[in-house]
A and B are shown apart, each in its own frame.
Chain A
Amino acid sequence: MRRTSPENPAMGNRKDRGFVLITMGMTVIALVGVLGIAVDVGRMFITKNETQAFCDSAALAAALALDGTTVGISAAQTALANSTNSWNLDTTAVASPTLVFATAIGGPWVANPNPATGYIYAKVSTSVPMKLYLMPILVPKTTQDVIATATAGQINITSFPEGLSPYTAVSTNTTGPNFGLTVGEEYDIQWPQYNGGGNCDPTDQSKIKNCFGGKGVCHGDGLNFATMQAVVYNWGSSNSGYWGATSNSVIEQEIVNLNAQTTPIAVGDNIMPVLTNGQKQSQSGYLDERVNQDIELTQNTLGTPTTSGTYLGLPHNGRRLLPVPIVDPTDPTHTTVLGFGQFLLYSSGANSDWYKTKTNGNDAFCAVYAGPYQIGSISPGAGGSTGATRVKLVQ
Chain B
Amino acid sequence: MKPSFHKAMKRFRDRSGNVMIEFALGSGILLAAFTGTFQFGYTFLQYNNLQNAVARGARFASLAPYDSLTSTASTAFKTKVQNMVLYGSTTAGTTPVLPGLTAANVNFVGAFFDPTLKIPTKMTVSITGYTINSIFASSTLTNKPQVTYAYQGVWSPLP
Residues of A at the B interface (CB closer than 8 Å) are 5, 7-8, 10-11, 20, 24, 27-28, 31-32, 34-35, 38-39, 42-43, 45-46, 49-50, 53, 56-57, 60-61, 64, 79, 83-86, 89-90, 163, 252-253, 256-259, 293, 295, 315, 317-319, 375-378, 390-391
- Shortest distance between the CB of B125 and any CB in chain A (Å): 11
6 contacts between A and B (CB under 8 A): A8-B10, A11-B13, A31-B33, A50-B51, A89-B47, A256-B157
Say whether B44 contacts A45, CB under 8 Å. yes
Given A79-B150, A375-B152, 15 more A-B residue pairs with CB atoms under 8 Å apart are A8-B10, A20-B22, A31-B37, A46-B51, A53-B51, A53-B147, A56-B59, A90-B143, A90-B146, A256-B158, A257-B158, A315-B117, A376-B63, A376-B151, A390-B152
Contacting pair A49 B158 (CB below 8 A): no
Contact B158 A295 (CB under 8 A): no
Contact A376 B33 (CB under 8 A): no
Q: Which 8 A-B pairs have the closest CB atoms?
A: A376-B152, A42-B44, A61-B150, A257-B156, A38-B41, A90-B144, A31-B33, A317-B119
Minimal beta-carbon separation of B16 from chain A (angstroms):
6
- The secondary structure that dominates the B interface is mixed
Residues of A within 8 A of B146 (CB): 85-86, 90
A14 to chain B, nearest CB (A): 10
Across the interface, name the chain B residue whose C-beta is closest to A255: B158
> B60 CB to closest chain A CB, in angstroms?
13
Among the listed B14, B59, B147, B149, which residue makes an inter-chain contact with A8, where contact means beta carbons less than 8 Å apart?
A: B14
Chain A residues with Cβ under 8 A from B116's Cβ?
295, 315
In the complex, are the beta carbons of A8 and B118 less than 8 A apart?
A: no
Contact B158 A34 (CB under 8 A): no
Residue of B nearest to A24 (CB): B26
Beyond A39-B40, A90-B145, is A60–B150 a contact (Cβ under 8 Å)? yes
Given contacts A64-B152, A295-B118, A376-B153, whether A49 and B48 have CB atoms under 8 Å apart is: yes
Asked if B52 is at the interface of the complex by the 8 Å CB criterion, the answer is yes
Contact B48 A46 (CB under 8 A): yes
In angstroms, Cα B41 to Cα A38, docked, is 5
CA distance A317 to B148 in the complex (A): 20
Is B137 part of the binding interface, using a Cβ–Cβ cutoff of 8 Å?
no
Instruction: Contact check, B149 vs A57: say whether CB atoms are below 8 A apart.
Output: yes
Chain B residues lying within 8 Å of A35, measured Cβ to Cβ, are 33, 36-37, 40
What chain A residues lie within 8 Å of B38 (beta carbons)? 38
Closest Cβ of chain A to B19, distance in Å, is: 9
B154 and A376 contact, CB distance less than 8 A: yes
Which residues of B are found within 8 Å of A24, using beta-carbon distances? 26, 29
Shortest distance between the CB of B109 and any CB in chain A (Å): 12
Whether, in the assembled complex, B30 has its beta carbon less than 8 Å from a beta carbon of chain A, the answer is yes
Contact A31 B151 (CB under 8 A): no
**Which of these, B26, B29, B36, B52, contacts A49 with CB under 8 Å?**
B52
Q: Contacts of A315 on B, CB cut-off 8 Å? A: 116-117
A295–B15 touching, CB < 8 Å: no
B113, A317: Cβ atoms under 8 Å?
Answer: yes
B40 touches A38 (CB 8 A): yes
Residues in A with CB closer than 8 Å to B117 are 295, 315, 317
Chain B residue at minimal CB-CB distance from A61: B150
- Chain A CB within 8 A of B45 CB: yes
In the bound complex, CA of A90 to CA of B124 (Å): 13
The 8 Å CB contact of B119, one of A8, A64, A319, is A319
Q: Which residue of A lies closest to B158 (CB)?
A: A257
Contact B118 A64, beta carbon cutoff 8 Å: no
Give the residue among A5, A43, A85, A377 with the most B Cβ atoms within 10 A: A85
* A49 neighbours in B (Cβ, 8 Å): 48, 51-52, 55
User: Using Cβ atoms and an 8 Å threshold, which residues of chain B touch A38?
Assistant: 36-38, 40-41, 44
Indicate if the CB atoms of A53 and B13 lie closer than 8 Å.
no
Would you give the shortest CB distance from B57 to chain A, in whole angstroms? Answer: 11
B73 to chain A, nearest CB (A): 15
Any A CB within 8 A of the CB of B65: yes
Which residues of B74-125 have CB atoms within 8 Å of chain A's CB atoms? 113, 116-119, 122, 124
Q: Would you call A258 and B40 a contact (CB within 8 A)?
A: no
Residue with the greatest number of chain A CB neighbours at <10 A, chosen from B38, B117, B124:
B117
Report the minimum CB–CB distance from A32 to chain B (whole Å).
Answer: 8
A31 to B26: give the CA distance in the assembly, Å.
Answer: 12
Chain A positions within 8 Å of B153 at CB level? 375-376
Asked whether, in the complex, the Cβ of A375 is within 8 Å of the Cβ of B154, the reply is: yes
